[in-house]
Amino acid sequence: MTGFPEPLLEGYRCFRNDRYAREQDRYRRLAEQGQAPEVMVIACCDSRAAPETIFNAAPGEIFTVRNVANLVPPCEPDQACRSTSAALEFAVQGLKVRHIVVLGHSRCGGIRAALHRPEEPLSPDDFIGKWMDPLRPAAEEMAGRGGLSDAERQTALERASIRRSVANLRTFPWVSGLESRSGLSLHGAWFDIADGTLWVMDPATGEFSKAE
């Protein structure tokens, strides 16, 4: 016995006997020719908001990076390890994607941590707190808004965070350069877990409206 989670093994068996059996030619072609997705999605780690599920994507269709609260840090070419920046570099410079989508979602735990920082971090290192620190000013602004419920405040910050991440994408010179030449499009979207609706950000106004 390996102790490997049985639900995962059962899921694998279903995948192997169903989807893989139906799409084995696609998988073999992807293995031989490599991937060539046109879309990169920067999404949250949250298990309820998987972009491949939301967009009903086939293997090889979207290049995905996931982190807590779907954040894109600004371009900072230092000696730190920056996994999101590395994935972004590969997607834009290596895969030549045509679209980048920052996908947020409702009831995000990372955003909730920014709005209501716990007295005690989950560990002494407080990795989540440090990761969410750049959103602190926006969180404090939301907390000071009267007339909003806690749920409305959270939704407002989730969407403000998406706008911020799209803006941070433009701090990478090879992203902004391609965008200015119409070689790359940047998008924001927000998924409501409760009712399954997708809201898309207007690039001119930053406002969100339901996708048709």
Digit-coded pLDDT (tens) for 103-134: 999 999 999 999 988 778 889 888 988 899 98
3-state secondary structure of 206: coil
Q: How confident is the model at residue 79 (pLDDT cuts 50, 70, 90)?
A: low
Q: Residue 120: its pLDDT value, please? A: 84
Q: Residue 212: its pLDDT value, please? A: 85
For residue 42, what are its two tokens? 């920067």
Q: Which CATH number fits domain 36-210: 3.40.1050.10, 3.30.930.10, 1.10.3080.10, 3.40.30.10?
A: 3.40.1050.10
Tens of pLDDT, residues 58-69: 999 999 999 999
Mean pLDDT of 161-174: 97
| DSSP secondary structure of 87-144 | HHHIIIIIS--SEEEEEEETT-HHHHHHHS--SS-SSTT-HHHHHHGGGHHHHHHHHT
* Residue among 46, 49, 88, 48 at smallest CA distance from 65: 88
Mean pLDDT of 76-90: 87
Q: How confident is the model at residue 72 (pLDDT cuts 50, 70, 90)?
A: very high
For residue 72, what are its two tokens? 């894109």
Q: Residue 144: its pLDDT value, please? A: 78
If 0-12 CB within 10 Å is exposed, 13-18 middle and 19+ buried, where does residue 189 land?
Answer: buried
Least confident of 78-92, 97-111, 195-209: 78-92
Close Cβ partners of 19 (under 8 Å, ≥ 6 residues apart): none
User: Where do the domains of the chain lie?
Assistant: 1-34, 36-210
3-state secondary structure of 209: strand
pLDDT beyond 60 at 147: yes
State the average pLDDT for the chain.
94
